[in-house]
Amino acid sequence: MHRSHPPMTDPRLADLQQSLPDLRLKTDAADLEHYGRDWTRRWTPAPLAIALPATVDEVQAVVRWANRHGVAVVPSGGRTGLSGGAVAANGELVLSLERMNKVLDFDAVDRTLTVQAGMALEAVQNAAREHGLVYPVDFGARGSCSIGGNIATNAGGIRVIRYGNTREWIAGLTVVTGAGEVLELNRALVKNSSGYDLRQLLIGSEGTLGIVVEAILRLADPPPPTNVMLLALPSFEVLMQVFAEFRGRLRLEAFEFFTDLALRHVLAHGAQKPLEDEYPYYVVTEFASDDEATEAAAMAAFEHCMEQGWVADGVISQSDAQAQQIWRLREGITEAVARYKPYKNDISVRISAMPAFLAQTQALLGEAYPHFEVVWFGHIGDGNLHINVLKPDGTSDAEFVTQCEQVTKLLAQALLAHGGSISAEHGIGLVKKPYLSSTRSAAEIELMRGIRRVFDPNGILNPGKLFDA
């Protein structure tokens, strides 16, 4: 049995250890802090303990113990979330799936990979490649985020324009509900019209209905050879015109946007300067490039945008190494600004509504944050923007968050007017909970509360997240 030192004295934990002698538990202060928070860093972690089960049976037993003792449980994956969804700040038991990190099965006929929920995304991608296939969902935190966490937030990432969100690739789920029941959902069926699809209900539920313990993932053929291009844009207004031009001529894998300020932070963090001159806006686009015709189409798109004045400069990758260097300019932004404790907005609107929304939002943020650095980037091809407001030196954390939240209220109103969402891919968690009504109607929220009570009648799973009970 694995024990922390000094020995645990809480009688509830003593009961848990007695009923599950092989369950790994941690109560050391450093472990409580490490497992009790995600990337938001806005709440002081204060969990009761950390449970690290190794089997579905152990997860089920922990949930049943939690129901008996009235202990709240926070499911935990890689904790790379940015909305406070994995925070344990009120004496909860953190249930980490990190030990459940194995491939369980590969089916060559169905082209599925069955994995435990604690497996890192990058490990899943590598396992798929061993069979000559790919798991195409991808984002910068691939090395540390877990499949269970991806499913809990319906994570998107940099290739949604080509492959869609996580939910498109989930063929089946095994979950432990808040009542301690084990459900096997869909079982990899391609067609299944036998009532409600509870699998899809669990995806994006942020650990409030059940704990994902295993997933059957759909795999795809490897993509054709691709090429990567960096485009420098002279103004914000031409962004959607450039997107339309490239989408019309090429099979896009990604179309990512960021500002000069974002680039400066990434360059200061060690990336190589891509162009001789500086420009206000940039795009990284990746596209299928499997023959001379597509290469010619890419150059035609670039030249047309240059002629129209929509693009001022650019570079196309000549090697895999150069492609990686270009991608680093986009993927390195989050890490580069992390030390500034940014206040993050992760929003989305329909692609067709993007131009009007961008214009309104840029004006709103320029007026609201005249003295703050605002780092913009996002997945323009799927209508998703990330807005990072950097905390100035000398401003307290509390004062900074208060100022930012005032503007988020205005942003939520703009999203409501444009039919958008306050959370595109990070989830609601604690951070966005006050603004859920800008995305969901009162009737929808009440139905979600009712669904939650069915799956988790005692309200033990991730309480306080998404919405209040």
Residue 98's SS3 state is: coil
Q: Is 465 part of any domain?
A: no
Q: Report whether 456 contacts 179 (CB < 8 A).
A: yes
Encode pLDDT of 244-273 as tens digits: 999 999 999 999 999 999 999 999 999 999
CATH of the domain at 79: 3.30.43.10
Q: Are residues 77 and 107 in the same domain?
A: no
pLDDT of residue 381: 82
183 and 131 in a common domain: yes
Phi and psi for 298 in degrees, rounded to 5? -65, -45
Which pLDDT does position 3 carry in this prediction? Answer: 42
Tell me the C-alpha distance between 114 and 453, whole Å. 29
Adjacency order of strands within the sheet including 93-96: 24-26, 49-52, 93-96, 73-76
Q: Write the DSSP symbol of residue 205.
A: S
Q: What's the pLDDT score for residue 236?
A: 84
Please list the residues that pair with 388 across neighbouring strands.
344, 375
112-115-119-124 Cα dihedral, nearest 10 degrees: -20
Domain boundary among 289, 316, 334: 334
Could you tell me the maximum CA-CA distance found in the chain, to the nearest angstrom? 74
Residue type, 25: L
State whether 86 and 15 are in the same domain: yes
- Among 96, 112, 129, identify where a domain stops: 96
113 and 55 housed in the same domain:
no
Q: Verify that 282 and 372 share a domain, yes or no.
A: no
CA dihedral 420, 423, 424, 427 (to 10 degrees): -150
Domain boundary among 96, 127, 160: 96
Please indicate, yes or no, whether residues 270 and 371 belong to a single structural domain of this protein. no
Q: Are 425 and 164 in contact (CB under 8 A)?
A: no
Judgement on whether residues 149 and 167 belong to the same structural domain of the protein: yes
In the three-class reduction of DSSP (H, G, I as helix; E, B as strand; rest coil), residue 350 is classed as coil
Are the C-beta atoms of residues 75 and 152 closer than 8 Å to each other? yes
In 3D, which of 355, 334, 358 has the Cα closest to residue 426? Answer: 334
CATH assignment at residue 282 = 3.30.70.2190
Tell me how far CA of residue 198 lies from CA of 202, 229, 316, 456, in angstroms.
6, 41, 44, 14
Domain-embedded: residue 184: yes
Q: Is 280 exposed, middle or buried (0-12, 13-18, 19+ CB in 10 A)?
A: middle
Range of the domain at 395: 341-450
Q: Which residues contact 272 (CB under 8 A, 6 or more apart)?
A: 325
What distance, in Å, lies between the first and last C-alpha atoms of the chain? 36
**pTM of the entire structure?**
0.91
**Domain co-membership, 127 together with 206:** yes
Q: How many domains does the chain have?
A: 4
Q: How far apart are CA 85 and CA 34, in angstroms?
A: 15
Within a domain: residue 242?
A: yes
Classify residue 2: in a domain, yes or no.
no
CB distance 39 to 79 below 8 Å: yes
Peptide bond into 136 cis (omega under 30): no
Looking at the structure, do residues 169 and 65 belong to the same domain, yes or no?
no
DSSP letter at 244 equals H
- Where the chain has pLDDT below 50, the residues are 1-7
Report yes or no on 458 lying in a domain. no
466: in domain: no
CB count, 10 Å around CB of 85?
30
Tokens 């941690």 correspond to: 26
**Of 434, 452, 436, residue with least CA distance to 208:** 452
Same domain, 283 and 238: yes
pLDDT for the residue numbered 80: 87
Place of tokens 């060690």: 270
Q: Which helix H or strand E contains 331, and what residues bound it? A: helix 320-331
